[in-house]
Structure 1
Amino acid sequence: MSGPLAGIKVIEIGALIAAPFAARLMAEFGAEVIKVEAPGDGDPLRKWRKLHNGTSLWWYLQSRNKQSISLDLKSPEAVAIVKRLAQDADVLIENLKPGALEKLGLGWDVLHALNPKLTLVRISGYGQTGPYKDRPGFGAIGEAMGGIRHTTGEAGGVPARVGVSLGDSLASLHAVMGALMAVLRVKTGQGDGQVVDVSLVESVFNLMESLVPEYDLLGHVRERSGGALPGIAPSNTYPTRDGAYVVIAGNSNPIYKRLMAVIGRPDLADDPRFAQNDGRAAQAALIDGAIAGWTTRHGIDDVLAALQAADVPAGRIYSVADIVADPHYQARDMILQSELPDGVKVKMPGIVPKLSDTPGAVRWQGPMLGEHTDAVLARLGMTAGEIARLRERGVVQ
């Protein structure tokens, strides 16, 4: 293994999105990630969304660089294996329902006694404490209760969702951040391992900017506003003559003046009411109308060329086809060519962030269920005969 997290050992006891995505990010930067899956079907993500030869294409992305070990955690022998793995691990990450890890005999008291340096990352709907902790929670519920769904959609319309599992992914990012802070504390000798408690709801809520003080001090409840950014103007999505859409962010004072020059509205550029953002926000509909009047007279390519020449931030709404074809994505290695187990070539997303000296890497795609069981158990000192007997009893797959 190479990368900034080389030498860091992570055990993943999770399924679907939040914990697995967090572990994937660590694996891409060199951490050894051992994913524990149940015998039989394994992680349900193996069958989610679009499949190729019976396996989810998302699975190959979500589980790249991981080792899969299949254990029946209902068996005391399987739990004993996890304990042995935890003895020299740096991080154990899970997204089970609060209390489930304890029922398995793998609670924090047990793990911490086995390995005081271990960090336990726990991702759940509502966190490990509080009156809602025992409720089932998915990312969609986190988005609803975290506040983002209330502000997403057309004005006066039904609350909408972003087209990806945003709540889960935000929890994953917070989990990685918490894990690395906790591991750094251990590695620098400042203390032992600790619990990182990540809530889906709170991870979404953490992105909600000034929502709370605006409500508390001003009684303002931020509502849905379509493509606009309330209180910041002009910043919106505008139609073009050829049916495309362009996002224009002209919300700093000098950029606003350059934008008005491009659209041929010097009167709006020089109007003292619009010299600062608060004045522009109060008349956002007027300004947006002027911008849309210009964009609808021109095709998307001409609109972008004019705005780029004037150094006005703008971008067309991209589909996945636009992303894959874009030369900037390609130049930044954000579209990687990968190979599936059957030899089929497929494009996959690249790695973020870009590190100059210790970049992340894709070493292999998501593994077959239990593909690394024998190798991992052998590293624990088990003989081939012992592993075979465990397999015969259904403890491992």
Structure 2
Amino acid sequence: MPDRPLSDLTVIDCSTLIAGPMAATFMADFGAEVIKVEHPAVGDSIRNFGREGQALSWKWLGRNKRSVGLDLSDPDGAETFKNLVADADVVIEGFRPGTMERWGLGWETLREVNPGLVFVRTSGFGQTGRYRERPGFGTLAEAMSGFAEVTGFPDKPPTLPSLGLADAIAACYSTWAATFALYHRDVNGGEGQVVDTSLVEPLFSIMGRLTVDYSVNGTVKTRTGNRSAYSAPRNTYETKDGRWVAISGSAESVAKRILRAVGGEELAEDPRFATASKRLDHGDELDAIIADWMAERDREEILRVFEEHEAAIGPVYDTADIFDDDYFWERGALERVDDDEHPDLVMPGVVPHLSATPGRIDHAGRDLGADTMAVLTERAGLSEADVHELEARGVVRLG
């Protein structure tokens, strides 16, 4: 029996940057053989992301993948790609809509090569609709989904996340959509199909409360800082020693525990804060009481008091704090990975945790073209001489 749940799957990842490649990484972590097809001259753009000479994002997003340098825009490269697709289960691409078709590698062509193929297409705005041909990045999706408009403080500009949030959420959606499609194919006897994932819609979809609230009440949510328009207390607070903590009273029982931790029974029974609705009505007063209490105590004392009351609280961590907290190591959320270039390389571990068939990290991202010869001779029907001929013309790259 396979030791990982996707061990029988072959995935071809010819996408770039984050949304498509991350979906492929999730599948690779859980056993799929992922063949990363990259442009032979420059590779995936993520290899050059950040400071020159440090392709650290690639070490993470390229983990557990075999790298093949192959030019899909070249007719011979396209034919070689079709040979790879013939016995693959999933193809993930992330080009602007119409690009794969221009190379003779669109869905109608690939489904003839492999009727059971699941074709995951990630793009800024999707394969249909009036914006389909626009270039799209996560930043635009974070703006147009409504996320930026409700993030930040009322007197400040809309706030974009400092990481690839839209891409990451799109990757999650693509991953489970691909597994849904594979289930339909393998369990229900269905054929292959296209998964059409934009960057805008997944992020928009997780903000469902805003949509239904507007449709029913005409309410347009505004920026509230770290406060919530739906529950109180909820905020970040500075402590006496200049650290920060975050609390949330989303559940009634937890809200009462927070009030008892801060002000005892007197505060817990204060009629101004007796219900969720009243706490929202008197949010400024409640926030001031909690902020004053926090400002008089060091963070460790605050954490201890809240834990004694089983009240929800979390310290606001930076990356150094995360590395110092044994919890992240105990859970495998941080994992050391062998790497010749960076001996101290640590990256996020594999999540979630499966009890019988857990995922694992076999290796960090490999050099561009490191597996070209092996993959094309094993899986695309080419001889070594064929590969060297394509290399001479710049169609492939050998690592």
Shorter-chain TM-score: which interval? over 0.9
1:137 has 2:143 as partner = no
Question: Aligned equivalents of 2:95 and 2:359: distance in 1?
Answer: 28
Q: Secondary structure at the match of 2:396?
A: coil
Q: Is the 8 A contact 1:142 1:201 kept in 2?
A: yes
Once superposed, what is the RMSD of the aligned Cα atoms?
A: 1.4
1:368 equivalenced with 2:367 (yes/no) = yes
Paired position in structure 1 for 2:387: 387
Matched, 1:166 2:165: yes
- TM-superposed CA distance for 1:339, in Å, is 2.2
Which secondary structure state, in structure 2, belongs to the residue aligned with residue 263 of structure 1?
helix
Distance 1:342 1:34 in 2: 22
Q: Distance in 1 between matches of 2:58 and 2:224?
A: 35
Partner of 2:267: 268
**Rounded Cα–Cα distance in structure 1 between residues aligned with 2:204 and 2:117:** 28
Alignment partner, residue 41 of structure 1: 42
Amino acid at match of 1:172: A
Question: How far has the Cα of 1:390 moved from its partner?
Answer: 1.5
Q: Which runs of 5+ in 2 are unaligned?
A: none
Per-residue deviation, residues 317-360 of structure 1 (Å, max 9, x unmatched): 11000111111101111111112233623222111111111111
Query: Counterparts of 2:262 and 2:312 in 1: how far apart (Å)?
Result: 14
Q: Cα–Cα, structure 1 residues 2 and 40, in superposed 2: closer, same or farther, change >3 Å? A: farther
Equivalences for residues 94-109 of structure 1 within 5 A: 94-109=93-108
Kindly state the Cα deviation for residue 242 of structure 1 after the two structures are TM-superposed.
0.9
1: distance between equivalents of 2:385 and 2:55?
33
Listed one character per residue, the Cα deviations across residues 303-327 of structure 1 (whole Å, up to 9, x for unaligned) are 0110011000100111000111111
Q: Is the 8 A contact 1:253 1:275 kept in 2?
A: no
By how many angstroms is 1:196 displaced? 0.6
Question: 1:73, 1:104 within 8 Å by CA — same for their partners in 2?
Answer: yes
Tell me, yes or no, if structure 1 residue 183 matches structure 2 residue 189: no
How far is the alpha carbon of 1:178 from its aligned partner?
Answer: 0.6
Provide Cα deviations, 1:93-137, integer angstroms capped at 9, x if missing partner. 111101111111011111111111000001111111111111111
- 2:330 corresponds to 1:331: yes
Contact 1:86 1:115 in 2 (8 A): yes
- Tell me, what secondary structure is at the counterpart of 1:7? coil
Between the aligned partners of 2:230 and 2:291, the Cα distance in structure 1 is: 18
Structure 1 position 211, deviation (Å): 0.6
1:29 maps to amino acid? F
| Residue range with higher mean Cα deviation, 204-213 or 274-283 | 274-283
Note if contact 1:12-1:33 (Cα within 8 Å) is conserved in structure 2: yes
The whole-number CA distance in structure 1 between the counterparts of 2:73 and 2:195 is 25
Deviation, 1:215, is 1.4
Between stretches 264-273 and 104-113, larger displacement belongs to 264-273
**Which position in structure 1 is the counterpart of 2:67?**
68
Aligned to 2:396: 396
Where does residue 314 of structure 1 map in the other structure?
A: 313
Partner letter of residue 374 of structure 1? M
Deviates more, 1:246-255 or 1:221-230: 246-255
- Higher alpha-carbon deviation: 362-371 or 342-351: 342-351
CA contact (8 A) 2:17 2:44 kept: yes
Aligned length, in residue pairs: 395
Tell me the equivalent position of 1:303: 302
Deviations 1:258-306 (A, max 9, x none): 2222112533321344332122112111111111111010011100110
Q: Tell me which residue corresponds to 2:27.
A: 26
Contact 1:122-1:198 at 8 Å conserved across structures: yes
Query: SS where residue 345 of structure 1 aligns?
Result: coil
Contact in 2 for aligned 1:86/1:92 (Cα 8 Å):
yes
Alpha-carbon separation, structure 2, partners of 1:369 and 1:392: 16
Q: Unaligned regions of 5+ residues in structure 1, if any?
A: none
Letter of the structure 2 residue corresponding to residue 381 of structure 1: G
What's the secondary structure of 1:223's corresponding residue?
Answer: coil
Mapped partners of 1:316, 1:242: distance in 2: 13
The 2-side partners of 1:234 and 1:334 are apart by: 29
Please tell me whether the aligned partners of residues 61 and 366 of structure 1 are also in contact (alpha carbons under 8 angstroms): yes
Counterparts of 1:377 and 1:256, CA distance in 2? 60
Output the TM-score relative to the length of structure 1. 0.97
Residues in 2 aligned to 1:59 and 1:248: alpha-carbon distance in whole angstroms: 35
Q: What one-letter code is carried by the residue in structure 2 that aligns with 1:76?
A: P
- Provide the identity percentage: 39
**8 Å CA contact retained: 2:260, 2:267:** no
Q: Distance in 1 between matches of 2:293 and 2:272?
A: 21
CA contact (8 A) 2:17 2:46 kept: yes
**Alpha-carbon distance in 2 for matches of 1:307, 1:143:** 34
In the aligned structure 2, how far is the partner of 1:119 from the partner of 1:242? 54
Letter of the 2:307 counterpart: Q
Q: Which one-letter code corresponds to 1:305 in the other structure?
A: R
Using the alignment, how far apart are the partners of 1:70 and 1:253 within structure 2? Answer: 56
User: 1:347: which partner in 2?
Assistant: 346
What is the distance in 2 between the residues matched to 1:260 and 1:320? 30
Distance in 1 between residues matched to 2:384 and 2:75, nearest whole Å: 20
